Amino acid sequence: MLNDHHITVVKSSIPLLEDAGPALTQYFYQRMFRHNPELNDIFNMTHQRTGHQSVALFEAIAAYAKNIDNLAALTQAVERIAQKHTSFNIQPHHYQIVGHHLIETLRELAPDAFTPEVEQAWTQAYLFLANVFIEREEQIYQLNAQGTGGWREGREFVIDMKTVESERVTSFVLRPADGKPVMSYQAGQYLGIEVTPSESAYTEIRQYSLSQASNGECYRISVKREGDAHKGVVSHYLHDEVQVGDSVILYPPAGDFFYQATEKPVVLIAAGVGVTPIQAMAQTLAEVSKRNVSYYYACDSVAQHTFNRESAALIEANQWQQQVWYRDQHGVMDLTSLVDTLPVAEGEFYLCGPVVFMEHAVQQLESLNVSRDQIHYEVFGPHRYL
């Protein structure tokens, strides 16, 4: 059981973590996949190759060590990670594997500093945190299974429709193979999709935002073709090989980024494929006939304007504010130019897009005195704080 002495020892080892840096978590992943290759079927190996996952895990471990005596500060991070884990169908035994390799990594990389006292403290700290995640994830799994149209673990869905939305984005409408209802979700959430691409040696699980309002009958995801096939093995497979009538496995909708009903003005801000969760929010807002909505979008060109006609119809029918920036014509999005129309004092701002875009958008909003509490955002892939 974690006690005050363990907490003191863990906090005293923070310099050890900081000296090691992301190289520690990179070593950890290499070790784990070498000894437990079955986990290649769960983890996103593209993120492993880019190093993004190693950096994200290191930042999470460091944050936990620094806040181990104030876990309330990690509540939001725990919820975000627990939601993501359920879309991978992470189970308690996976935590045992991860814990074993984490401790062994610390032992192997810092044999002199990793004394029996430090090992015991980190073991108890890990077990405590793992139990927090296991309990929260079990709650989510049970809620998913008990709700109308809900399920637990994987469920077979059939591609009902495949629609090109722009030069690089294609939508897939997915209906349950059993013909039964599907659980509802919050606009902005995502779901996990499991496939076995012909170009991959592993089963691959990815998360894609749901791009339409919840309807209880089907789901729609909209997928961007990523770079080359090596970097975007799943997106290329979905674009090039998956056809109407084919089956995939889905995990229930998840995520802590979603539209929260409010009487305040709502500002939707997106770039590129980041428009996918924003589109679900726009459809949801249209269904409740909410009028005080603004819709701002940026992409590279007209050809890459995803949901161009669909969003235009929503905006016109609901008399919303709109502006679009095409990089090849207008440059990058300039929110400061909208200072006279943006509800900076009372609005709720929802952002999604590339990290660089969102960092720039947040800086602009803050320069207009928009509070961080008013800004909600989603980062695709391993999470980063803006």
Domains of the chain (ranges; CATH) run: 4-146 (1.10.490.10), 155-254 (2.40.30.10), 266-379 (3.40.50.80)
Contact between 240 and 234 (Cβ < 8 Å): no
What the block records as the tokens of 76 is 């939001």
What the block records as the tokens of 383 is 């999470």
CB atoms within 10 A of CB 170: 20
Alpha-carbon distance 91 to 243, whole Å? 31
The per-type count for the chain, helices as H runs and strands as E runs, is 13, 11
Q: Which amino acid is at 208?
A: Y
Which of 29, 137, 219, 259 is the catalytic position? Answer: 137
Phi-psi category of 49—alpha, beta or left, where left has phi over 0 and alpha has psi -120 to 50?
A: alpha
Handedness of CA 38, 39, 42, 48 (dihedral sign): negative
What the block records as the tokens of 11 is 């906090």
- Residue 226's contacts (CB-CB under 8 Å, 6 or more residues apart) are 232, 235, 236
- Residue 282's contacts (CB-CB under 8 Å, 6 or more residues apart) are 268, 293, 295, 311, 314
Mean pLDDT per 10-residue section of the chain, whose length is 386 residues: 92 86 87 92 69 74 87 88 94 95 90 90 92 95 95 97 97 98 97 92 93 98 84 91 97 97 96 97 94 96 97 96 95 94 96 94 96 90 55
Alpha-carbon distance 187 to 29, whole Å? 33
137 catalytic per annotation: yes
Burial annotation 191-229 (CB, 10 A radius, 16+ → b, else e): bbbbbebeebebebbbbbbbbbbbeeebbbbbbbbbeeb
95 catalytic per annotation: yes
Q: Quote the pLDDT of residue 158.
A: 98
Question: Which alpha helices (H) appear in the chain, and where do they start and end?
Answer: 4-12, 14-20, 22-35, 45-50, 52-66, 75-86, 92-109, 116-146, 233-240, 275-287, 308-318, 327-330, 355-367
Q: Quote the pLDDT of residue 161.
A: 98
Q: Quote the pLDDT of residue 25.
A: 86
Q: Which amino acid is at 54?
A: S
Backbone dihedral angles phi then psi of residue 170, each to the nearest 5 degrees:
-125, 140
**C-alpha triplet 238, 239, 244: angle, nearest 5°:** 70
Contact between 278 and 305 (Cβ < 8 Å): no
Pairing mode of beta strands 266-271, 348-352: parallel
Alpha-carbon distance 56 to 356, whole Å? 17
Q: Quote the pLDDT of residue 146.
A: 94
Which of 27, 29, 64, 95 is the catalytic position? Answer: 95
pTM of the complete model: 0.92
Q: Which amino acid is at 71?
A: L
- Residue 236's contacts (CB-CB under 8 Å, 6 or more residues apart) are 197, 199, 225, 226, 229
